[in-house]
Homo-oligomer: A and B are copies of this chain.
Amino acid sequence: MSENIITAAILVIGDEILSGRTKDKNIGYIAEYCTNIGIDVKEVRVVPDEEAEIVSALNALRSRYSYVFTTGGIGPTHDDITADCIAKAFGVTIDEDPRAMALMLERYKPEDLTPARRRMARIPAGADLILNPISKAPGFRLGNVIVMAGVPMVMQAMLDNVAPTLSTGIKMLSQTIDAHGLPEGLYGGPLGEIAAQHPGLSIGSYPSFKDGVFANQIVVRGRDQAAIDAGLAAVREMLQKLNSDKNPL
């Protein structure tokens, strides 16, 4: 793998996602954000609020990818155990962090810092804080793990704050061609041949279904624009040929 490829995994923590009560909105947002800054998301996991599950998923992912983004489990209630699990996974201590306390005192009066709220200032040793402009309680980064809130607006603000500190690689470029009514079953064979002839590209075909009709889009992805252009030209020529076979003059 080239040193210019930066990879990531997303680890979503929370029973409420697994029960279906809350529909996750963070995976798609982080995935698109990472693609746009030159980080390839290669895997996503969702795990329950259980220490053994969080620690084991975190260790599997952080050893394998350049970065791991976690969401969820850093609030003030008893089911918010992410920070403790990160400390456990890294084998470091965790305690109330004076920097985090100072941030929280921007929002809360000292007498309003209940034990529950002080839980949000527990940060593993050695972590850098990630600012939270919305509700102050910070996220943090420890090694290659970026720990963010689960509430989408708070997560998004944290991601904006941490992104400039991340290494990024050569951006994966992507261009989409509409198949204009041609079914996948007609162009699937020739498209596979084009994909085999362009090994530097990733070519995918994505159907959607609306109002009883399938619509298909062909996506050509790669890190080199000239290679993408060549792939696009081949796909367009193939579609044109199929269309003129279908509607001969």
- Residue A248 lies at the interface, judged by CB distance under 8 Å to chain B: no
Question: Which among A11-19, A85-93, A138-146 touches the partner chain?
Answer: A11-19
Q: Specify which chain B residues have a CB less than 8 angstroms from the CB of A79 in the assembled complex.
A: 195, 203-205
Given A20-B32, A135-B214, A188 contacting B43 (CB threshold 8 A): no
Tell me whether B28 and A43 are in contact (CB under 8 A).
no
Tell me whether B18 and A31 are in contact (CB under 8 A).
yes
Tell me whether A191 and B78 are in contact (CB under 8 A).
yes
Tell me whether A17 and B46 are in contact (CB under 8 A).
no
Q: Specify which chain B residues have a CB less than 8 angstroms from the CB of A34 in the assembled complex.
A: 20
Tell me whether B18 and A28 are in contact (CB under 8 A).
no
* Nearest B residue to A149, CB-CB: B207
Given A21-B174, A23-B28, A151-B207, A191 contacting B77 (CB threshold 8 A): yes
13 residue pairs from A and B, CB less than 8 Å apart: A18-B31, A18-B42, A19-B174, A21-B32, A22-B206, A27-B27, A43-B48, A44-B46, A78-B191, A79-B204, A112-B185, A116-B187, A120-B185
